[in-house]
Amino acid sequence: MTDAVPATSYPFAFEPTLDRWARLFAVVPTRSFVHVDDDGFEAVYGSWRVGTVWSNVVEVTRTGPYEKWKIAGPAHLSVADRGITMAATTAGGVCLRLREPIPGIEPLGLIRHPGVTLGVADPDSFVRDVSDRLRRSRESSDEPNTDPRHPKGRPLATLAAMWRWKKRSVTHHEQDVERIALPANHRSGCDDDQPPEQGTGPTIHRRYRVGVRNASCSADEAMARIQAEPDVLTDSSFAPFTKTVGSTGAMNTGDRYVIQVFGPWKGAVEVIDVTPQSFRLSTLEGHMESGVIEMRAQDGDGELWFTIESWARSHDRVLRVLYDRLKLAYALQSEMWATALDRFVELTGGEPVGPFEIVTERARTSRGVGRAAAAVGSGRDR
């Protein structure tokens, strides 16, 4: 195939009334997306998933508008032609007609669909993108053997992560403080935004940091690689990043990701700030925490430093018990970011300067929540 076109993810459109029906079947905007790349497409709509390679797609066309009763709630099966519809908007969407039917509506794959209808938020851009990829696919002899699938965390990898954290050697400082001020960044402001004010329990400020000597790249170069593909910092079998809004190969404000840890730990985030040496993420609906996460790289004194910093509260009481009392969520989160420090050292080709440093500050009461007039952490001090 000729030069690759960056993969792109498209969100679904959700009308307010249909959104409420979709949620009854665990279909939420932050975990519903269509990913397209040079191999094919994958559509994820709550617990439903369909996907196939481009050689199996005959054409893509605009469709709609739709009647509410035909699309409300879960993914729908067409009685007329056995097509599958994933949509939460009556405005319309796109239809992909297939050569060989594919499974999707039920987990056993007994029912197969000759067509897929998707209620994406930007149908015109989707049709142009897919049409171009279909043309490129037909001009190429290089064809994948399997349909695209985004990576997901696996059960055994989750257990292994908890064991690794128990065995890790880190320098950990913990302290209680009267109040923790939150970063003064503008949030996404969307209905699915999940700021600390919506959380429960005390505000927790955590900082993970590693220094690297003899690094083969600068802070700008390291951060450019991370922003192009955040998965370079992860164990893909444990906590891969899946981009659900935006194009691959770059990071921009408004891009969205889902961190696909096994079980109830999946967390959606939105990029709310990007600089050459840092980026900041805001948690979205369904994340185990309500808050902000920042990653930054800095050159200084002949060493390269990488810091992950978060300001957050538990999203609900159940997660607070899992995090504060049982320490399950705490161990998984800690190992995920400790792994990111490991990967950063590998990425830069240097050696770590001593053990990892982890600092935890906990507000003594939930009244520690508050917006700071000055951005906390924006000084990006080492």
For 323, counting Cβ atoms within 10 Å of its Cβ (0-12 exposed, 13-18 middle, 19+ buried), the class is: buried
Residues 6+ apart with CB under 8 A from 337: 208, 308
Dihedrals phi, psi of 337, to nearest 5 degrees: -80, -30
What confidence tens digit (pLDDT) does each residue in 224-234 have? 999 999 999 99
What confidence tens digit (pLDDT) does each residue in 241-275 have? 889 998 888 999 999 999 888 766 678 999 999 99
Distance CA 40, CA 147 (A): 7
For the domain 155-368, what is the CATH superfamily, name and number? Answer: START domain (3.30.530.20)
The closest of 79, 67, 52 to 119, measured between CA atoms, is 67
Same fold across 8-138 and 155-368: no
What is the second-level CATH architecture of the domain 8-138? Roll (2.30)
Note every long-range contact of 329-335, with CB atoms under 8 Å and residues 24 or more positions apart, other chains counting.
329/265, 329/288, 331/161, 331/162, 331/165, 331/166, 332/158, 332/161, 332/162, 332/165, 332/261, 332/265, 333/288, 334/165, 334/358, 335/161, 335/162, 335/164, 335/165, 335/168, 335/238
Residues 6+ apart with CB under 8 A from 366: 200, 201, 202, 203, 313
pLDDT > 70: percent of the chain: 90
Residues 6+ apart with CB under 8 A from 127: 60, 61, 62, 94
Tokens 């994820």 locate to 44
Place 145 in a pLDDT band, splitting at 50, 70 and 90: low
What confidence tens digit (pLDDT) does each residue in 276-332 have? 999 999 999 888 888 899 999 999 888 999 999 999 888 878 878 777 777 788 888
> For residue 10, what are the CA distances in angstroms to 83, 98, 303?
21, 20, 39
The pLDDT of residue 320: 80
How do the domains of the chain map onto residue ranges?
8-138, 155-368
